[in-house]
Amino acid sequence: MKPWKLLDTEYLVNAPWLKVAKEKCELPNGKVIDDFYTLWQPDWVLILARTAQGNWVMTEQYRHGSQTIELEFPAGIINKGETPEQAALRELQEECGYCIDPRLREDDDGAREDDDGKAIRYLGELPVNPDRHRGKFHIVSIDGVVKAGGTHFDSTEDIESFELSDDELQKKMADDTFCHPLQMAGYFKWKLAARTL
């Protein structure tokens, strides 16, 4: 199997947070598609943050796409020059007022460690939608977080944060209260990674 060859790109929408492109592509069999539409958005980070008691930090906020209040993990755009881990720490503080417990050890690079040496773990990246979307999301887990200050919302954000046990979260998955498919994929990636740690 071979990838398609990109012949031309025309941006129909070229905004900072969203690009819509009409692409002309040649398939391996020589057929040309004149109008394959793709979406481009900045990469973002999914933050799987847990307290020392094992509770998840969760958010609720209005999502205009679904026109509903959604239960979600904290998440946010990765700014230029940031690693996913740096973006996760920043967004967790801004959206929820949580940070890594300052009592954890600090290593030579300024990162904080728990007893097994890792308070922050990068679990990988997944495509948002491999068919038409060029963006991806990164999954970062952070253990040992504490509520340690105020929030700093963007002008369009109105977010409530709270904690749920893992059992409570799984019940909300089962009854479709928590139904964001990408975030559920990140959670299950964490579950698989937790088996090997």
pLDDT in tens, 123-176: 999 999 999 999 999 999 999 999 987 777 677 778 889 999 999 999 999 999
- Rounded to a whole number of angstroms, the CA Rg of the chain reads 19
Question: Which among 194, 195, 169, 175 is positioned nearest to 56, based on CA atoms?
Answer: 169
DSSP 55: P
Quick one: pLDDT at residue 109? 47
Distance CA 62, CA 53 (A): 28
Domain ranges of the chain: 5-40, 44-196
Tokens of residue 41, six digits: 């958005």
Would you write out the chain's pLDDT as a tens digit for each of its 197 residues? 999 999 999 999 999 889 999 999 999 999 999 999 999 999 999 999 999 999 999 999 999 999 999 999 999 999 999 999 999 999 999 999 999 987 765 554 444 555 555 699 999 999 999 999 999 999 999 999 999 877 776 777 788 899 999 999 999 999 999 999 999 999 999 999 887 75
| Phi, psi for 183 (deg, rounded to 5) | -70, -35
* Residue 133, pLDDT score: 94
- Given 3.40.190.10, 3.40.640.10, 3.90.79.10, 3.40.50.620, which CATH number is that of 44-196? 3.90.79.10
Name the DSSP letter for residue 185: H
| 191 closest CA partner among 44, 50, 51 | 50
Distance, in Å, from the CA atom of 139 to the CA atom of 36, rounded to the nearest integer, reads 29
Q: Token digits for 51?
A: 């307290």
Closest CA to 46 of 109, 172, 156, 139: 139
Residue 147 to residue 169: CA distance in whole angstroms: 19
* Residues 146, 10: Cα–Cα separation, whole Å: 47
CB proximity list for 66: less than 8 A, separation 6 or greater? none
